[in-house]
Structure 1
């Protein structure tokens, strides 16, 4: 179901209910007003009859009942002017009482068996027909004037009013429905145009969607789409660049392994073969390390976060313990200090991978017998982990570039994948960790400060 249809099906019932409520209100209002008007007319009729008949009624003591003939017999010419007038004439009747006896009646009035009505308004049913009766006792005369009217007259008038009102409403509902449908489609035309524009784009077209002539309500939506496409464009660019660099980086160790295999095949002595096998193993280890780093970098951006309470001191201690053999082989002096109760809410797996790459980088560039110190200290919104090494350090002009993928310092003699700090930067971005580069207190080497928040920032 389209958005236009959903809106239409939600708005139209509301309009129909509103029209029905208006019709009910009009019915109640018309019924009340007609009741008031016709009751007032009965009062006027009773007073008018008394004014016209008070002389005959005053003289009529023992005379027989005077019956007023029906208009049908005396006013045919007048009633012929309006066919409905006869129905209205038959709907009215009157009686005049004097001294407890009927002295004057209309031809269609109640029989004498119907007793005199009390003063004011009364409802009476005769032969299945409901009547509205008004009784007017005339003071100091003993005369009571009764004027009666069929309730069907009032009900018919109300029904005619409602019927005459229903026809326009029945015509109005389809007209309003068509107007609502037109307004909805016209109002959603910009959205439909936006959808067509997005559908017509090729997968490579991530240019911003123009916001000119768009309604003000749609500008934030289009702005969000443009921001999303810009992030997607940057992500795709980085992935393509990563794929190109990875293909280039993997080609070198593979070519070296192939060359070593060819040399082993052509070697003449066992000693030469053993030396080549040693080089082959080292080359294969470098290739495996490169592949592992590339997989880690790819996994960092897609791995779902699993936040838990992590003790920083214990985590760093475990990372250092994993490098224990390397420390011994290269006679490195390693120290860990700081608060042993430093706890943060973060993804311990990713945080450990980041610290692991930073420690590995410090080991790689520190000379044999050098120093590596790790200090944990309290910060305003979290904890700092400072990793200090005694290597050559990173010049200030290169510090913004060392976190790029496959970037290596032009002056370094160490072999590396160029992915360690890139992985650390990617993890830091996901865990809201701030990374700063500097120089240790002893004046040379590299100091890397990690500011880990107590809770990951959303």
Structure 2
């Protein structure tokens, strides 16, 4: 995986480099054009200066002397005169209006005829020239001032090179500054990484977010959420292991005693009695382990919830438990006033119904009746399981949903109603146990209802 610094730095440097070079090239192109215009303007200005001078001179002049004076004035060798590296290398030609040549600089192009008035470029003996021709109608003169284009371009290139040099030096310095600033900006992330590495391996304490920049706070909150989830998961596993160790210790000890008694039995009746106790203890331990695993599965950190038809699930579950009810000679009745919609995990609802109806079957006498009653209100769904068993002493009613607490049932694990209470708590409902005035026991659940939606997988049975 590419480092964050590299992922940020390389595109940034590429963008800065391409942008800087683009700007430099654009500025150089514009500067080249502007310098060309400046030199052309200087040519025009030089022609006008000569025009002004010639107007102040007599009509009849010694043009050879004028030529000598101009060449001395425009000498760029710097011999005794002030010179500048960027000054023009001017050359002059003067014609009369009829085309008669009056004067020509020594290195000026030898034109047979004067060019058209204005600024123009021309080629002479393989050399490019830039020039301007100015007409002086008052004195009847044609004044041409020009310079070699290669010398001009050399001067322009020197100016451009001096303008480009700071950019070529500045871009690497800018890249270095970006590198250092990026490293400084990533220091909070590096500090967070060092802090995580320095934490104890078994530490699940949340990270402090007060000193973190806003960009790292969401990551720290996400890590804290994961740490909290992991802490809850470990607590749930520790609780399950502790409960299993506590509750299975006694049944396993009893099983060992019955197994020892069966081995030491001296007659068949004693051996059969010990084996019967052993089978009964194995069945109880199996039921206890099964219910503990069910409790553990119902305590996940997240569950898959969806809209379910509680009346349809209840009808299906009663159909599954009908063979057991027939064996005990108990009738199962579903009393629902219509569809009952609930937003929950279908597997958890199925486990809840199994424990409610299973407990009622265990305590119902032969010939009795168990009624599962459903009532749908606007925002609340009421579920009651009513049996005709012996009921529960009032002193035990408050503890029926405690783990491993079983009232009037020495063979029970004390987890049935605890599982129901856990499901109800996850759904945000309430659980109430009571003795019926007509005899029997009642478990009443109130669960939050949801708006009905079509559910293809929960069709009417």
TM-score, normalisation: structure 1: 0.80
Q: How does 1:33-432 map to 2 (within 5 A)?
A: 33-54=34-55, 58-59=59-60, 68-69=67-68, 71=71, 75=75, 78-79=78-79, 85=85, 91-101=89-99, 102-113=101-112, 115-300=113-298, 311-338=309-336, 342=340, 348-364=346-362, 371-378=369-376, 380=378, 384=381, 386-390=383-387, 391-392=391-392, 398=398, 402=401, 406-408=403-405, 411-413=407-409, 415-421=411-417, 423-424=419-420
Task: State the number of aligned residues.
Answer: 444
Q: Secondary structure at the match of 1:209?
A: coil
Q: Which moved more, 1:189-198 or 1:286-295?
A: 286-295
1:48 deviates by 0.7
**CA–CA distance in structure 2, aligned partners of residues 228 and 24 of structure 1:** 53
Residues 357, 162 of structure 1: CA spacing in aligned structure 2 closer, same or farther, 3 A cutoff?
farther
Aligned to 2:456: none
Distance 1:158 1:300 in 2: 84
How far is the alpha carbon of 1:231 from its aligned partner? 3.1
Q: What secondary structure is seen at the aligned counterpart in 2 of 1:68?
A: helix
1:447 to 432, 444, 448: 444
Cα 1:139/1:329, change in 2 over 3 Å: same
- Give the conservation status (yes or no) of the 8 Å contact 1:88–1:153: no
Is the 8 Å Cα contact of residues 133 and 145 (structure 2) preserved in structure 1? Answer: yes
SS at 1:323's partner residue? helix
* 1:366–1:389 CA contact under 8 A, matched in 2: no
Q: Which runs of 5+ in 1 are unaligned?
A: none
Inter-partner Cα distance in structure 1 for 2:156 and 2:210: 56
Provide the C-alpha distance between the structure 2 equivalents of 1:212 and 1:310, rounded to a whole number of angstroms.
Answer: 43
Compared CA separation, residues 72 and 393, structure 1 to 2 (3 A) = farther
Residue 8 (structure 2) aligns with: 7
* CA-atom RMSD in angstroms: 3.9
SS at match of 1:231: helix
